[in-house]
Amino acid sequence: MYGYGGGNGRGLGEARSLRDLGREHALLPLRVFLGVTFLYAGLDKLTDSAFFHTSGPGSIGEQMHAVRDSAAIPGLVDLALNSPSGFGYAIALGELAVGIGTLLGLWTRIAALGGALISLSLWLTVSWQVSPYYLGNDLIYLMAWLPLLLGGGASLSLDALLAARRRRIR
């Protein structure tokens, strides 16, 4: 196997083991999955005619009222209920930004922090009552964001491209 350098101190064309390639690209499948999922979630909300309404089937207002009494932090739901439509747009646009940033590998750690915060807020409100806990997907998403928050998007990312460019300029 031959690499492209990859920022590991090796020159162009030097052989790298499959283990090295695997280690270098270990977070890439997670980054693609989370990026596509959050991009899709944001677009799905933005294109749903009922989602941004204060009440009615499929609306963010109805969803918030349904989970209010079972949320770990009902105050968060009350805050969202002050402006369900605004909260819905904030979540949808946040998911869109997180998805795009994660897919492109641009400011990956910031995108991962945003994804983790969205997942945390949804876990503490919408899916808190799910029992047993491992059936609720928001906690799993929260845990999935942590490796990207810690490791960034080093492989096939704009972050890596920009870092390499900064190193060449110095």
Burial status of residue 147 (CB atoms within 10 A of its CB: 0-12, 13-18, 19 or more): middle
Residue 85: partners with Cβ closer than 8 Å, 6 or more residues away:
52, 53, 54, 60, 61
Burial status of residue 48 (CB atoms within 10 A of its CB: 0-12, 13-18, 19 or more): middle
State the pLDDT at residue 5: 44
Write out residues in the chain with pLDDT < 50, as ranges.
1-6
Q: How far is CA 116 from CA 27, 30, 102, 119, 143, in A?
A: 16, 14, 12, 5, 8
State the pLDDT at residue 13: 54
State the pLDDT at residue 96: 98
For the record, the structure tokens of 32 come out as: 């693609």
State the pLDDT at residue 55: 93
Q: How far is the C-alpha of 111 from the C-alpha of 27, rounded, in Å?
A: 14
